[in-house]
Amino acid sequence: MLKKTFYIFLLFISIKSYGQRSNSSPYSFFGVGEQYSSQSAEQASMGGVGVAFSNIYHLNFINPASFADLRFATYSVGMRVNDLTVKDLSGSQKSTSTSLSYLSIGFPVGKKAAVAFGLRPNTSVGYSLLNVEKDDNGVVYEASRFYGYGGTSKFYGAFGISIFKNFNVGLEAEYVFGKTENNVLFERTSAHLATKNNEVVTIRGAGLKVGVIYKKEFSNKVQMNLGASFKLENSLTTTGEENLYSLSIESSGMEVSRDTLYSTSTNGKLKNPLKSILGIGFGKENKWYAALDYEFKNPINAQNTLLASSSAYVYGKSNRLSIGGFYLPKVNSISSYWHRVTYRAGIRFEDTGLLINTSNSEGFSKVKDFGISFGLGLPMRSTSNLNLGVEYGKKGTTMNNLIQENYINFKLSLSLNAVGNLAWFQKRKID
The one-character DSSP state at 6 is: H
Structural contact between residues 270 and 299, judged by C-beta atoms closer than 8 angstroms: no
Q: Is the pLDDT of residue 9 over 70?
A: no
Report the mean per-residue pLDDT for the chain. 86
Burial class (CB in 10 A: 0-12, 13-18, 19+), 333: middle
Residue pair 291/325 in contact (Cβ under 8 Å)? The answer is: yes
The pLDDT of residue 21 is above 80: no
The percent of residues in the chain predicted with pLDDT above 70, rounded, is 89
What is the average pLDDT across 282-294? 95
The answer to whether residues 155 and 127 touch, using CB atoms and an 8 Å cutoff, is: no
Q: Which CATH number fits domain 4-418: 1.10.10.410, 3.40.190.80, 2.40.160.60, 1.10.10.10?
A: 2.40.160.60
Q: Does residue 304 have a pLDDT over 70? A: yes
Q: Are 180 and 150 in contact (CB under 8 A)?
A: yes
Question: What is the total residue count of the chain?
Answer: 431
Entry pTM: 0.87
Higher pLDDT, 364 or 67: 67
Are the beta carbons of 62 and 46 closer than 8 angstroms? Answer: no
- Banded pLDDT at 313 (limits 50, 70, 90): confident
Alpha-carbon span 353 to 297, nearest angstrom: 9
E strands, 91-193, are 91-108, 113-134, 140-164, 167-188
CA dist 185 and 369 (Å) reads 30
> What is the predicted pLDDT for the residue at 424?
44
> How large is the average pLDDT for residues 2-10?
44
Amino acid identity of 291?
A: A
Residue 419 CB partners (closer than 8 Å, separation 6+) = 72, 382, 383
Of 312, 403, 394, 317, the C-alpha closest to 353 is 317
Contact (Cβ atoms closer than 8 angstroms) between residue 405 and residue 368: no
Is the pLDDT score of 19 beyond 60?
no
Tell me the HSE value of 294 on the side-chain side, using a 13 A CA sphere: 3
In this structure, which amino acid lies at residue 323?
I
Model confidence at 360: pLDDT above 60: no
Selected residue with higher pLDDT from 225 and 128: 225
3-state secondary structure of 286: coil
Mean pLDDT of 355-369: 76
What is the mean pLDDT of the segment spanning 105-132? 90
Which pairing describes strands 365-379 and 318-327: parallel, antiparallel, or unpaired? unpaired
